[in-house]
Structure 1
Amino acid sequence: MTKKRALPVEKINTLIVNWLKTYAENAKVNGFVIGISGGVDSAVTSTLCAQTGLQVLCIEMPIHQAQSHVTRGREHIEQLKKRFPNVTSVEADLTSVFESFKKIVPGNHSDISKVNLSLANTRARLRMTTLYYFAGIHCLLVAGTGNKVEDFGVGFYTKYGDGGVDLSPIADLMKSEVYLLGNYLKIPDSILKAPPTDGLFGDERTDEDQLGASYNELEWAMAEDHAGKSIENFTGRDKIVFEIYKRLNTNNQHKMTAIPVCFIPKD
């Protein structure tokens, strides 16, 4: 676990809400659009946006979605709409779009795992396109839902999918801090208690299943890495987790750094 932040959760809440409102006003937009997944990150982000008093549009975008994810997302949206009159919602079922895409691209690659991963990322990119469609017609900003360990630690998101956003209100918060904020914001218990999952495979596999370590473990590894520790400093499970963190952090740098540009000399 990372060192506890000195700023109380209520002040973090106020700081983010004020930042969101100021950014939107300076950008001269009406508010925010957020994709609702049934997870804690999107629930917290949408609640923070709602507190600005600006227009908030919550979008459900199921693609062969597990029913538990759909149920949690709808529970949160209904709760949010009751609490905040500036919140509206719409469902855009992208299942048929996804199936049409699958028919167009070749799916007979020898490595089926690569096909499945590419299709999982395609789900995220279809959702990004949908969010920007609604953002465009309603003059809204796409609010990102990534947290610090996902966005800047292990790169656990889809490039130009859920990573394609206008601003990231919770990207400086660790997952554990997102849960603290979720408790403070009275996010539904069904969401707070559900194992984190990206929902990109249409089943119940969790983030921990995919990553090989829990978020608490990865937060610890991220802090140790920032402190200058190396693999030689650890044994047992700590060594395994640190290796997982370093591998993912290295392999996903292309997501976390600026796009490489080939600069041409003026002369």
Structure 2
Amino acid sequence: MQTEKVIEYIVTWLKDYARNAKMKGFVVGVSGGIDSAVTSTLCAKTGLDVLCIEMPIHQSEKQVNRADRHIDWLVQNFSNVSRQPVDLTPVFDNLVAALPKVENEEERFMSLANTRARLRMTTLYYFAALKGYLVAGTGNKVEDFGVGFYTKYGDGGVDLSPIADLLKTEVYELGKVLEINQDIMDAPPTDGLWGDNRTDEDQIGASYPELEWAMKMDDEGKSAGDFTGRQQEVFSIYKKLNRANKHKMVPIPICEIPNSLKTTD
């Protein structure tokens, strides 16, 4: 990949999109991970206003520190970047307290994890509307179009997606050239929605390079029967998640009423 040219292309695309939309800049949720670090840096390079939002919800201290250091670095190197911390922990806790109790708390863990992402989306759009900015998404190609590893109307709720045509390994290539902090480059990818240290690989059961391979094989029309051992396992994981999360990747289904029912007899 011609990394420098890809960076230039994305920066130009971001700048052109914002200007055509008559928007002043971008708001980005910064988590301490590689995707948000690269996205926020690309936005910063446009020269337009960039507001980096920190939104911890019972967050790991390591994640918070990585996010802080990255935003510090951006502010020091780009005069168009500003930061806004928003502690969503009490908001989340109050919402959980207001919801009806369930017999088995483990049954709602996934629902509450997705609720965290949706609270963050709401926060990003609050500041976007307040300042006339666009919400820049941080999803990569494997997450957005392969396994659907994101929250519908959470981190999937954005105005534009600058890195969604890049594989995770390609995002790391950009990160190296953009000189993203090494602690972010080295950190295992995580969605940070669980209040613990579980990684994306822990949740999915496969690494991003493995998923990228499976996505390529699927595009080539391969099936699980074409592989054995670990390759067959990874391909099956990919296909299972791709099918289960297809509803996130296609337009919302519309009940189209036949014209014959819309006309009177």
State the TM-score, normalized to the length of structure 1.
Answer: 0.96
RMSD, matched Cα: 0.8
Q: Is there any run of 5+ residues in structure 1 with no aligned partner, and where?
A: none
Of 124, 141, 145, the residue aligned with 1:148 is: 141
Q: 2:159 aligns with which of 152, 162, 166?
A: 166
Deviations 1:240-266 (A, max 9, x none): 000000000000000000000001123
Query: Does residue 261 of structure 1 match 2:262?
Result: no
Partner residue in 1 for 2:63? 69
Partner amino acid for 1:261?
Answer: I
Query: Is it true that 1:48 corresponds to 2:11 in the alignment?
Result: no
Residue identity in the other structure for 1:9: T
Return the offset for 1:107: 3.1
| Alpha carbons 1:36, 1:59 under 8 Å: kept | yes
Match status 1:104 vs 2:102: no
Report the counterpart of residue 192 of structure 1 in structure 2. 185
2:199 maps to 1:206: yes
The 3-state SS of whatever aligns with 2:166 is: coil
Gaps of 5+ in 2: 261-265
Give the conservation status (yes or no) of the 8 Å contact 1:58–1:90: yes
- Rounded Cα–Cα distance in structure 2 between residues aligned with 1:65 and 1:34: 18
Instruction: Say which of 9, 12, 24 aligns to 1:15.
Output: 9
State how far apart, in whole Å, the 2-side matches of 1:144 and 1:177 are: 16
CA displacement, residues 54-105 of structure 1 (integer Å, 9 cap, x when unaligned): 0000000000100000000000000011110000001000001000100111
Secondary structure, in 3 states, of the residue corresponding to 2:137? coil
Identity percentage of aligned residues: 63
- Secondary structure in structure 1 of the residue aligned to 2:259: coil
Report the Cα offset of residue 109 of structure 1.
4.3
For the 8 Å contact 1:107–1:115, the answer to whether it is kept is no
Q: TM-score, normalised by structure 2?
A: 0.97
AA aligned to 1:147 is N
CA 1:232/1:72 → structure 2, altered by over 3 Å: closer, same or farther? Answer: same
Query: Is 1:224 equivalent to 2:227 in the alignment?
Result: no
Q: Is the 8 A contact 1:39 1:197 kept in 2?
A: yes
Structure 1 position 93 matched with structure 2 position 75: no
Q: 1:109 to 1:27 in 2, by over 3 A?
A: farther
